[in-house]
């Protein structure tokens, strides 16, 4: 199924989602790409269709709008396109003390990182289950493993994605459908600026979007439950952090999000 599968990727206009679109097109698969920046998506469509024998459908959508996931699903269904791989990648973060942050920002974050991801999964899964094949790749984060002072809502949204993805992966284990949660460490993308994270030390040694996209795409093809691109961070989160006192973990987590400027 790897080469002729059709993938829907949210947040394909930049960063990890853009690289996943390139990887999928390079494997010969058609695409539906979703984001707000239509021009960036149209440029991606032109690039991929000229380089590879694939067709790319562009959907401009602001997934923080409540009706957006069902609009996207309807447009895809009306076009007669079946989705083999659903890649829920669109997301953003935000820095600062929770009680001082603009509520509208955190509300949109929850709407995108949690609600849209969940609803799109709910909308596209039944057809996969009916066909007895399909793959869902949800982009969570290493932030999903611990609470995140100074990014409280963002870390909580990613904990949700990690929990939700594993739970439905287990539900679907005999259905021919796999669910993978990609948990990147820091990545050098537009995420840093969009989330006001400039000056946070953790991003000094960020991975490239390409590397992370390759790790996630490969893990999705293999049907892994969880993929972490940063091995050192993965080891810490799985084998050290669970055995540390909670307050110590909170302090360390906060330190990692303090700004150096
Ligand atoms: N970068 C990191 O350090 C890091 C680490 C762990 C996890 N992640 C996760 O990786 C995923 C991808 O982020 P990235 O690092 O590649 O950052 P990015 O370059 O900023 O990409 C984010 C993508 O999401 C889209 N998006 C944002 N708001 C949207 C909205 N309201 N409606 C539809 N699409 C929207 C953006 O497109 P438009 O602006 O065109 O809408 C863009 O294509 C996110 O879920 C993020 O939480 C990132």
Taking only the tens place, the pLDDT of each residue in 210-261 is 999 999 999 999 999 999 999 999 999 999 999 999 999 999 999 999 998 6
217 is catalytic: no
Mean pLDDT value across the chain: 96
Establish if 2 belongs to a structural domain. Answer: no
Tell me the best of 111, 189, 192, 230 to mutate to test the pocket of ligand 1, counting ligand atoms within 8 Å of each CB and taking the most.
Answer: 189
Q: What pLDDT shows up at residue 261?
A: 66
- Successive 10-residue mean pLDDT values, the chain, 261 residues: 81 98 98 98 98 98 98 98 98 97 98 98 98 98 97 98 98 98 96 92 92 98 97 96 97 93 66
- Testing ligand 1's pocket by substitution, the residue of 18, 87, 92, 227 carrying the most ligand atoms inside 8 A of its CB is 92
Query: For the stretch 42-64, what's the b/e string if a residue is b when 16 or more beta carbons lie within 10 angstroms of its beta carbon?
Result: eebbeebeeebebebbbbebebb
Q: pTM to 2 decimals?
A: 0.97
What's the structural domain count of the chain? 1
Residue 207 lies in a domain: yes
Q: What is the CATH number of the domain that holds 25?
A: 3.40.50.720
pLDDT for position 1: 44
Q: Is 232 helix (H, G, I), strand (E, B) or coil?
A: helix
Share of the chain above pLDDT 90, in %: 95
Residue closest via CA to ligand 1's atom 42 equals 11
Percent of the chain past pLDDT 70, that is, above it, reads: 98
Task: Give residue 93's domain range.
Answer: 7-257
Residue-wise DSSP of 36-102? S-HHHHHHHHHHHHHHSS--EEEEE--TTSTTHHHHHHHHHHHTTPPPSEEEE-------S-GGGS-
Element (H, E) at 28: none
1 part of a folded domain: no
Token pair for 121: 């999964």
């Amino acid at each position: 199924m790897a080469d002729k599968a059709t993938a829907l990727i949210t947040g394909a206009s930049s960063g990890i989602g853009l690289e996943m679109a390139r990887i999928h097109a390079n494997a010969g698969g058609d695409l539906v790409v979703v984001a707000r920046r239509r021009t960036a998506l149209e440029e991606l469509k032109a690039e991929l269709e000229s380089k590879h024998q694939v067709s790319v459908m562009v959907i401009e959508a602001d997934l923080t709008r409540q009706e957006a996931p069902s609009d996207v699903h309807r447009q895809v269904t009306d076009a007669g396109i079946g989705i083999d791989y659903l890649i829920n990648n669109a997301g953003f973060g935000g820095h600062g003390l929770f009680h001082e942050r603009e509520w509208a920002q955190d509300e949109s974050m929850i709407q995108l990182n949690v609600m849209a991801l969940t609803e799109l999964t709910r909308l596209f899964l039944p057809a996969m289950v009916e066909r007895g094949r399909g793959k869902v790749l949800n982009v969570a984060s290493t932030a999903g493993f611990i609470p995140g002072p100074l990014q409280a809502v963002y870390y909580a949204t990613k904990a949700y994605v990690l929990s939700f993805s594993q739970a439905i992966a287990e539900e679907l284990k005999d259905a021919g459908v796999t669910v993978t949660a990609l948990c990147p460490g820091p990545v050098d993308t537009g995420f840093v600026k969009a989330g006001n994270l400039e000056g946070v030390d953790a991003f000094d040694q960020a991975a490239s979007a390409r590397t992370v996209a390759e790790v996630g795409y490969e893990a999705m093809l293999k049907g892994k439950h969880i993929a972490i691109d940063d091995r050192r961070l993965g080891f810490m989160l799985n084998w050290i952090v669970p055995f540390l006192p909670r307050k110590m973990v909170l302090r360390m987590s906060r330190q990692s999000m303090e700004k150096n400027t």
